[in-house]
Amino acid sequence: MECSGRLLFYCSLILSLAALALADDPYFECGFVEDRGNYTANSSYQANLNRIVSQLSSLTEFNYGFFNLSAGESPDEVKAIALCTGDRTQDECNSCLHRTATELIQRCPWHKEATAWSEFCLVRYANRDIFGQLESEPRTCAFNTRKASNPVQFNDGLSELLNNLSNIAAAGGPLRKYAAGNATAGNLQTIYAAVQCTPDMDKQNCTHCLDDGKAEFLNCCYGRIGCRVLRPTCILRFESNPFYHTAVPLPSLPPSPTPPGPTTSPTSIGG
Ligand SMILES: *[C@@H]1O[C@H](CO)[C@@H](O)[C@H](O)[C@H]1NC(C)=O
Ligand SMILES: *[C@@H]1O[C@H](CO)[C@@H](O)[C@H](O)[C@H]1NC(C)=O
Ligand SMILES: *[C@@H]1O[C@H](CO)[C@@H](O)[C@H](O)[C@H]1NC(C)=O
Ligand SMILES: *[C@@H]1O[C@H](CO)[C@@H](O)[C@H](O)[C@H]1NC(C)=O
Ligand SMILES: *[C@@H]1O[C@H](CO)[C@@H](O)[C@H](O)[C@H]1NC(C)=O
Ligand SMILES: *[C@@H]1O[C@H](CO)[C@@H](O)[C@H](O)[C@H]1NC(C)=O
């Protein structure tokens, strides 16, 4: 069971309610920035948001789990970004995105701009351009309430692993910026970790996001046996059990710069 860093107070309540709410994804978190505007019931913005959810329910391309969507016309245009973790198949990705987008609208309602993270995917929407923008809000952190028995060694092993994975992820191409791996900490315990940026980040912005995320580990994740740092443009996670699958293979040839084929740019669904 995870508890949110921002909702510590509610943690025990959530734990006791968890049994009553089996349908809810225990990994789901959502967030918003307070002053970015609200939409009202039956507005065009709400209709466009619903169109984004339908788009996310009827994706036909896989695109390695990354989608850049929009619906409607300014000033009610909704822009969205959706990302699945690099180890999810197309079916797993589609169902995660549909569930997460639906739950986002229900659990963080009326905000023109909001972000949700579930175990295997991330969904964001806004009434402005968000593609390629490094962002640090909203963010949260969700940790396992169990503590590591040897926090110092655990953290040393984890830091080195996260640094290695961050370098690999940031150097990933435009299709995917993801890395997962394991390390041995004190007591010969194995730590499993994965990090990922939305692939619209360039190497520098991805590194920046992951560096900020690693700094947050010290605040919220220190001494825990599992934790997720959740940001709008990158996610970091570690556990004491192997939680990831083999990454979905990317095309073996690097995408050629000219001409850009359909698989080299993120799917853009207008409307
Ligand atoms: C937007 O909605 C939230 C939640 O319903 C509310 O707390 C907030 O005051 C609203 N903000 C504005 C600017 O209306
Ligand atoms: C929105 O539309 C529904 C169905 O047409 C209606 O029942 C409801 O009163 C409307 N709400 C607002 C705030 O206009
Ligand atoms: C992403 O979607 C926006 C529309 O919201 C579009 O203007 C932009 O060109 C798209 N970017 C890419 C790289 O597909
Ligand atoms: C990095 O993020 C910043 C802040 O959003 C943005 O202005 C900049 O264009 C991004 N850099 C690149 C190369 O995409
Ligand atoms: C990190 O990378 C270095 C250099 O490739 C390697 O020697 C080390 O074993 C790696 N450590 C972990 C924890 O992955
Ligand atoms: C840890 O990662 C290595 C590759 O770096 C892999 O060979 C090994 O099987 C993994 N160990 C476990 C326990 O998953």
Clarify whether residues 166 and 117 are in a common domain: no
Structural domain including 80 reads 24-131
For residue 263, is it within any domain?
no
Name the closest-CA residue to atom 1, ligand 5.
164
pTM of this prediction? Answer: 0.85
70 lines ligand 3 (CB under 6 A): yes
Question: What does DSSP say about strands 66-71 and 267-269: parallel, antiparallel, or unpaired?
Answer: parallel
For residue 202, is it within any domain?
yes
The pLDDT of residue 187 is: 72
Relative to the CA of 183, which ligand 5 atom is closest?
13
Clarify whether residues 84 and 166 are in a common domain: no
Per the structure, the count of domains in the chain is: 2
Distance, CA of 86 to CA of 198 (rounded, Å) = 10
For residue 65, is it within any domain?
yes
Clarify whether residues 221 and 154 are in a common domain: yes
Ligand 6 pocket residues where CB is under 6 Å: 181-182, 190, 242
Distance 225 CA to ligand 6 centre (A): 18
Clarify whether residues 91 and 117 are in a common domain: yes
The pLDDT of residue 18 is: 40
Distance, CA of 91 to CA of 96 (rounded, Å) = 9
Residue 153 sits in a domain whose CATH number is 3.30.430.20
Name the closest-CA residue to atom 9, ligand 1.
34
Clarify whether residues 97 and 167 are in a common domain: no
Clarify whether residues 205 and 148 are in a common domain: yes
**How many CB atoms lie under 10 A from the CB of residue 16?**
9
Distance, CA of 47 to CA of 190 (rounded, Å) = 47
Token code pair at residue 62: 């896989």
Of the bound ligands, which one is closest to the alpha carbon of residue 47? 2
With a cut of 70, list the residues of the chain below it in pLDDT: 1-24, 253-271
Distance, CA of 203 to CA of 215 (rounded, Å) = 18
pLDDT in tens, 28-82: 999 999 889 999 999 999 999 999 999 999 999 999 999 999 999 999 999 999 9
In the numeric block, the tokens 């599992």 are attached to: 226
Ligand 5 pocket residues where CB is under 6 Å: 160-161, 164, 183
Token code pair at residue 224: 């825990």
Clarify whether residues 171 and 202 are in a common domain: yes
The pLDDT of residue 105 is: 95
Say which DSSP state 95 is in. H
Clarify whether residues 116 and 167 are in a common domain: no
